[in-house]
Chains A and B, each alone.
Chain A
Amino acid sequence: MGRRVVITGLGVCAPNGVGLPDFTEALRTGKSGIRFQSRLQALGFGCQIAGEPLIKDNLLEKYFTPLQLRGLNASGLVYGVIAGRDAWADACLEPNTGSSPNWDNGIIFGTGMSGADKFRDAIYQVDNKEVRRLGSTTVVQTMASGISAYLAGMLGCGNQVTTNSSACTTGTESILMAYDRIVSGKAEVMLCGSCSDSGPYIWGGFDAMRILPRDYNENPSAASRPMSASAQGFVPGSGAGALVLESLESAQKRGTRIYAEVLGGEVNSGGQIGEGSMTAPNGEAVRRCIQKAVQSAGIQPKEIDAINGHLTATTKDAVEISNWSEALGLQGGEFPYINSFKGMIGHCLSAAGSIECVASILQLEQGVLFGNVNCEDVHPEITKIIEKERIPQKTIPYRPKIITKASFGFGDVNACVIFSSLNR
């Protein structure tokens, strides 16, 4: 058996709360982070609502130097730095101010793309024959690995520093990549997570695919309806989530708080074979991913207390429930509790997995299951498989010991991770 890996720090920058206290309270009360976006209206979008973290102006000075703030126009990078630095501090780790890199500490922080707004500025300047006026930070703000590079420089990490990218699976995948690195003994502490930009250039492509809800522009908080019979499509979001993973030995040596243990997990792909495609998952691969995750954690399916699904609020949510049920061999009242946080925050795309993993772990810490919102009318195809009471409609006191979380992404890619309280 490999080394045990625990979670010692969390950070978040979510549409319904920036920082752990605000985010926790928002989840507890079912507060929505989905708001009307006048920019999207002005640009003629069908879906004019989105989830975007609200960043107070003076907050940035806590995370960036005045020089770093000059010409900074990459929202995902901002969210990622806030979440990442918060997680580091939450784990009682300091930025490395020594003269040598900290070889034991690394970063795997994913994103879909970086600095869409900065890239747009650059395109206008280049096309206007002003390439010489791009300045020195166009590259670092628009390179995909910008986020891991910024964080590594701020924290002085000397282990692997990289960015993963697997669409909506990115955040959950980053945790499993960091987990592997620690299990194999190649690192002691890994900051992992993911971020996603805000704005029309990110969300436009999804609007064009007609997969976003268009009837809720006057009623944003009711738009994202995971598992609901009236679900119309996912609401686009953005933000970042971050976790500090650490070997159990290292965490115990430091005497730091331990939120949870990462018991195991799995990543795979459906190869876009059968019903799998660029945009739809192959069910066999989803089920296999879940089963392999359970095996790697060394647990039985019935030990799982709660599931945090991918559950984006499309008509496919029932298919996901069916896959969970079949993979775990559990149905009806035996099925674990299940929730989706996307009803409150929307689908934060490449940031979704990490924000939702942070929320899942907060449930272990707080002794609650955060309630679903907007699914009073659970889809009948879902209640054919599991009992309605397995889908909490509001936050309930409950002390889960094992939580599993899965994310599925464009490209037919899957990730499933299993967390437990340390002394279950």
Chain B
Amino acid sequence: MQEKEKYQKLKDIIQVYLPSDVSVDNIQPSSNFISELNINSANLVDIILDVEDAFDIRLENEDMNQMQTVADALQIIDSKLNG
């Protein structure tokens, strides 16, 4: 899977959880899920489940703790896919 394709797939997942005052164009690799994209912290667990389903991987609790930004998520996805 191309990096671009992965990024798009992740953006599609994140988009659903954005509050109404944050647009999909605000999503950048450096965006922090909670402090910048204003995603409800409770929804992070749903994003994890969606990522697991979309990429057919399994994320552990420590992966979740490290997943602060969009780039963090991409890196974790990469490591699982290549692991």
Q: Taking beta carbons and an 8 Å cutoff, which residues of A are in contact with B?
A: 65-67, 70, 133, 135-137
A136 x B43 contact (CB < 8 A): yes
The one of A67, A136, A137 that contacts B16, using a Cβ cutoff of 8 Å = A67
Closest residue of A by beta carbon distance from B61: A132
**Residues on the B chain within 8 Å of A133, using CB:** 49
The docked-state distance in angstroms from the alpha carbon of A133 to that of B51 is 12
Give residues 27-63 of B contacting A (CB, 8 Å). Answer: 42-43, 45-46, 49
The docked-state distance in angstroms from the alpha carbon of A331 to that of B39 is 63
The one of A65, A70, A135 that contacts B45, using a Cβ cutoff of 8 Å = A135
**Residues on the B chain within 8 Å of A66, using CB:** 16
Given the interface contacts A136-B42, A136-B43, does A70 sit within 8 Å of B16 by beta carbon? yes
* B9-24 contact mask (Cβ, 8 Å, vs A): 1 or 0: 0000000110010000
**Residues on the A chain within 8 Å of B20, using CB:** 65
The docked-state distance in angstroms from the alpha carbon of A136 to that of B46 is 6
B49 x A67 contact (CB < 8 A): no
Task: Supply 16 A–B pairs (Cβ within 8 Å), ascending by A.
Answer: A65-B20, A66-B16, A67-B16, A67-B17, A67-B43, A70-B16, A70-B46, A133-B49, A135-B45, A135-B46, A135-B49, A136-B42, A136-B43, A136-B45, A136-B46, A137-B46
**Residues on the B chain within 8 Å of A137, using CB:** 46
A interface secondary structure, majority: loop
Closest residue of A by beta carbon distance from B16: A67
Closest residue of B by beta carbon distance from A135: B46
**Residues on the A chain within 8 Å of B16, using CB:** 66-67, 70
How many B residues face the partner with a CB closer than 8 A? Answer: 8
The docked-state distance in angstroms from the alpha carbon of A67 to that of B46 is 11
**Residues on the A chain within 8 Å of B17, using CB:** 67
The docked-state distance in angstroms from the alpha carbon of A137 to that of B45 is 10
Closest residue of A by beta carbon distance from B48: A132
In this complex, the member of A65, A67, A133 whose beta carbon has the largest number of chain B beta carbons within 10 angstroms is: A67
The docked-state distance in angstroms from the alpha carbon of A66 to that of B18 is 11
Closest residue of B by beta carbon distance from A139: B42
The docked-state distance in angstroms from the alpha carbon of A73 to that of B62 is 30
In this complex, the member of A66, A70, A136 whose beta carbon has the largest number of chain B beta carbons within 10 angstroms is: A136
**Residues on the B chain within 8 Å of A65, using CB:** 20
The docked-state distance in angstroms from the alpha carbon of A67 to that of B16 is 6
The docked-state distance in angstroms from the alpha carbon of A135 to that of B51 is 12
The docked-state distance in angstroms from the alpha carbon of A295 to that of B38 is 54
The docked-state distance in angstroms from the alpha carbon of A234 to that of B40 is 44
The docked-state distance in angstroms from the alpha carbon of A70 to that of B17 is 10
User: A71 to nearest B CB, angstroms?
Assistant: 8
3 closest pairs, A vs B, by CB? A136-B42, A136-B45, A136-B46
The docked-state distance in angstroms from the alpha carbon of A65 to that of B17 is 10
Closest residue of A by beta carbon distance from B19: A67
The docked-state distance in angstroms from the alpha carbon of A135 to that of B50 is 10
**Residues on the A chain within 8 Å of B49, using CB:** 133, 135
Closest residue of A by beta carbon distance from B52: A133
User: A140 to nearest B CB, angstroms?
Assistant: 9
Given contacts A135-B49, A136-B42, 14 further A-B contacts (CB under 8 A): A65-B20, A66-B16, A67-B16, A67-B17, A67-B43, A70-B16, A70-B46, A133-B49, A135-B45, A135-B46, A136-B43, A136-B45, A136-B46, A137-B46
The docked-state distance in angstroms from the alpha carbon of A150 to that of B16 is 19
**Residues on the B chain within 8 Å of A67, using CB:** 16-17, 43
The docked-state distance in angstroms from the alpha carbon of A65 to that of B40 is 14
The docked-state distance in angstroms from the alpha carbon of A136 to that of B49 is 10
The docked-state distance in angstroms from the alpha carbon of A122 to that of B45 is 15
**Residues on the B chain within 8 Å of A136, using CB:** 42-43, 45-46
The docked-state distance in angstroms from the alpha carbon of A65 to that of B43 is 14
The docked-state distance in angstroms from the alpha carbon of A261 to that of B76 is 61
The docked-state distance in angstroms from the alpha carbon of A137 to that of B17 is 13
**Residues on the B chain within 8 Å of A70, using CB:** 16, 46
User: A180 to nearest B CB, angstroms?
Assistant: 34
**Residues on the A chain within 8 Å of B46, using CB:** 70, 135-137
